[in-house]
Structure 1
C-alpha cells in the first residue's frame, strides 16, 4: 500500500518527519512538497499531484491546508484513491480566523513576527514546546511570503463543494482545534457520507504533538 502525504500550509512536508517515523517501513511512503508544484489553485495543484501518482492505488493523508487538494484528487483519480485520512483539515473555509489571516500583508507572514505565546495557544492548544515551534518556523522560512499569502487566500475563498465523494474517509480531529471550526468538519461529513471521526487530544498541529496516535489511525485505515 502506498501512502501519499499532503502537507499543511508551509507545503514543505518537513513537519511530517515524526509522523513518518511512526509509520511502519513496510508501507511505501511519499511526501509531496507543495513548493515544487507550480499550480496556484487547489484544482491545479491536485491535477499536478495526480500526474505524479499515476495509475497506482494510494491512501492519501491530507493535513490542514491540503484537505481540498485531497477532495480534488478524489474527483480526478476516482477509485485509485482507496481512502483519505484528513488531519485537522477542511474542504470549505475553516472559520473566521482564516478570513482574517487572508487580509494580512505579506510582510506580516514572516515567522519571526509570530510570537511563541500566540503560536502555542492557536496551533498547539498550549502544548507546544520550543523545539516544535522552532520546527514550524524553520519550515515557514523555506516558503516565499507570496506563496503563503496565496495559500491563505485559497483557504479564505473556499466554497462548499457541491459533489459528494464515495471515497472512504477518516478524520483525525484534535479535541481543541482553534483553527478549524466544527461547521467545517460537518461539511466534510456531508461530502464524505461515511466519514469516520477519530478524536485525538491536542490542538491544530496534532500530527506534530501526537504523531504516534495519528500514525495508528493511518495504519488502521489501510486495513479497514
Structure 2
C-alpha cells in the first residue's frame, strides 16, 4: 500500500499482526485500534487452546451456550451464533488448529512503541483477560481504552458503536496529519 496515513484495526487474534505491521511501516501507520485483541497469549485459558479438539465444534446446544456465554456475554441472538458456527464449519480444520496452537504460544513482544492506540474493551471479555490489556499498555505509551458493554465478540455485537469509534479516530488522525 502506498498510503502514508494508515490506521490499522485489529480484532482479537490479529492484534500481534498489527503490532508487527506497525514495526515494518512505522512512518506510514498513524494509529492502531485494537478490538478485544491481544499481542501475546491473552489469558490463562488460552494456554490450553492447543489441546482443544476442533472436531467437537458443531452446531449443538452446548456450543451455542459456550459461544453465547464466552463470546457475547449471554446476549447474542441465535442468528449471530449460527453465523459463527457456520464460519467455524467452513474454516479449514488444520488452519483452525494452527490458530489455536499459535494463540497458546504467542510470545510477548519486546519493543515499546510510541504511537496513538485505542483499545475497544468489552466489559465482560471472558476470552481476553486483563493481562492482555496490561501487556498493550506496557508496549504502547499512548493507549486510550474505550469500554463497551458486551463480551469478546464486541465488534459483532456492537458493530455501529465500533464503526463510530473507528470513523472518529480516522477523522482525528487525518486532521492531525494535514496540520503537520
How does the TM-score come out when normalised to structure 1? 0.72
- 1:74 touches 1:165 (CA, 8 Å); kept in 2? no
1:103 is aligned to 2:48? no
- 2:115 touches 2:141 (CA, 8 Å); kept in 1? no
* Cα deviation code 1:125-163 (max 9, x no counterpart): 011110100111122222111101111111111121100
Task: Look up the match of 1:153.
Answer: 101
- 1:74 touches 1:167 (CA, 8 Å); kept in 2? no
Q: CA deviation at 1:164?
A: 1.2
1:78 is aligned to 2:22? no
- 1:102 touches 1:149 (CA, 8 Å); kept in 2? yes
Task: Give matches, 1:118-157, under 5 Å.
Answer: 118-157=66-105
Q: CA deviation at 1:101?
A: 1.9
* Cα deviation code 1:92-127 (max 9, x no counterpart): 11112211221123423x343662111111110011
1:204 is aligned to 2:174? no
Task: Look up the match of 2:138.
Answer: 190
Task: Look up the match of 2:36.
Answer: 88
Which secondary structure state, in structure 2, belongs to the residue aligned with residue 116 of structure 1?
Answer: helix
Q: CA deviation at 1:189?
A: 0.7
The one of 58, 65, 84 aligned to 2:6: 58
Q: Which runs of 5+ in 2 are unaligned?
A: 173-180
Q: Which runs of 5+ in 1 are unaligned?
A: 1-53
**Separation in structure 2 between the aligned mates of residue 189 and residue 161 of structure 1, nearest angstrom:** 12
| Superposed structure 1 runs of 4+ greater than 3 Å apart | none
Which secondary structure state, in structure 1, belongs to the residue aligned with residue 24 of structure 2?
Answer: helix
Task: Look up the match of 1:49.
Answer: none
If asked which structure has higher relative contact order (CA below 8 Å, sep 6+), I would say 2
Task: Look up the match of 1:221.
Answer: 169
Which secondary structure state, in structure 1, belongs to the residue aligned with residue 117 of structure 2?
Answer: strand
- 1:106 touches 1:146 (CA, 8 Å); kept in 2? no
Task: Look up the match of 1:112.
Answer: 59
* Cα deviation code 1:189-215 (max 9, x no counterpart): 111110110001100000011111111
Which secondary structure state, in structure 2, belongs to the residue aligned with residue 222 of structure 1?
Answer: helix
Bigger Rg, which one = 2
How does the TM-score come out when normalised to structure 2? 0.89
- 1:79 touches 1:167 (CA, 8 Å); kept in 2? no
